[in-house]
Amino acid sequence: MKTLTFANGDQLPILGLGTWKSAPGAVYDAVREAIRIGYRHIDCAAIYGNEAEIGRALKDAERAGEVKREQLWLTSKLWNSDHSRVGKALEKTLRDLQLDYLDLYLIHWPVPLDPSVTFPSKPSDILSPAQQPYAATWRGMEEVARAGRARHIGVSNFSVKKLSDLLPHCEIKPEVDQVELHPFFPQPALVRYAAEQNIHLTAYSPLGSSDRPAQMKGKDEPSLLQDPVIATIAKVHGVTPAQVLLAWHVTRGIAVIPKSVSPARLRENLAAAELTLSIGDLERIDTLDRQFRYVDGSLWTPAGGPYTLQTLWDGP
């Protein structure tokens, strides 16, 4: 599989397995099956509530001789309540995943929360960047990187502005920004900026995240999987629409982490890493941009809180 290379030579397999919403009882089997068929990159997060089960799957796969730790790329994310205690949060994740180190640790959201809550129930639960500066959180990330507990560190849901504000404060630069990317939301300015800064991008919700909780969904959301342009390209290549959506990132040199707990779809998604789209395909897909986010961040923007959608995303 194609990989993305880091400054120290480490290689991130370009297609990985997403695990948000992979339910207890299902995620163990999904991770075991994924490893058996060749996935080597798994995207986790403390807030997904399933790291202990993923840890058991990783350990059992290793014990069964199916994979060695050093062949895997394991990412996890610092939850919003933990911005002021990065080391402690990472130690919990490492215990749950049964690991000595992560390959990549990300600040999950540029939205620090009061450390006593997991989700905000009132606007004051959300801390402003003045109360908990991103640069302070980043110092905690640098400490865990220096201690060797995370080989690489990065961010998630950071705009060009938030990245460029953070960079002057960094001794170790963020190496990855994990963001929503798909043909309806291709973020060309962020893609250009990340390339200039040697920051790798990872695309989340590449298939439209249709299993999100109902309260996170809008009315009449457009469907990536049913888009006619994607369907036509899929037909030409003799593949599925999901494979076109995933291959689009691979062709552009962006990592992608589709979530599935279905053995058939795990296979289908992995095979997409071997499909290369033509320049004509890419041009047709370019016409689909409609600046549409599935994960719109509105949870973090209650009236009276420190963020609006504009200051959260610094754009659409």
Is there binding between residue 19 and ligand NDP (CB under 6 A)? yes
Q: Does 205 bind ligand NDP (CB under 6 A)?
A: yes
Angle CA 301–119–112, to nearest 5: 65
Per-residue contact string for residues 169-198; x = within reach of ligand NDP by CB under 6 A:
---------x--------------------
Which of 13, 18, 112, 186 binds ligand NDP (CB under 6 A)? It is 18
For residue 37, give the nearest of 82, 8, 67, 7 by alpha carbon.
Answer: 67
Minimum CB distance to ligand NDP, residue 313 (Å): 12
Q: Give the residue nearest to ligand NDP (CB).
A: 18
Binding string to ligand NDP for residues 211 to 250, with x set by CB under 6 A, is what?
x-------------x----------------x--------
Shortest Å distance, C-beta 157 to ligand NDP = 5
CA distances from 182 to 100, 149, 188, 284 (A): 33, 31, 11, 13
What minimum distance in Å lies between the beta carbon of 9 and ligand NDP?
A: 25
265 binds ligand NDP (CB under 6 A): yes
Considering the complex, state which of residue 19 and residue 251 has its C-beta at the smaller distance from ligand NDP. Answer: 19
> Among residues 28, 48, 204, 294, which one is catalytic?
48
> Given candidates 129, 208, 305, 306, which one binds ligand NDP under the rule CB under 6 A?
208
Stretch near ligand NDP under the rule CB under 6 A, chosen from 186-194, 260-268, 273-281, 303-311: 260-268
Q: How far is the CB of 240 from ligand NDP (least distance, A)?
A: 6
Site for ligand NDP in 87-116 (CB under 6 A): 108
Active site residue 48: yes
Handedness of CA 128, 132, 133, 138 (dihedral sign): negative
Whole-number minimum distance, CB 208 to ligand NDP, in Å? 5
Span interacting with ligand NDP, options 86-94, 189-197, 252-260, 283-291, rule CB under 6 A: 252-260
Residue choice 50, 132, 157, 251 for contact with ligand NDP (CB under 6 A): 157
Please check whether residue 49 is in contact with residue 77, taking contact to mean a CB–CB distance below 8 angstroms: no
Residues marked as catalytic: 48
For ligand NDP, the binding residues (CB under 6 A) are 18-21, 43, 108, 156-157, 178, 204-211, 225, 242, 257-262, 265, 268-269, 295
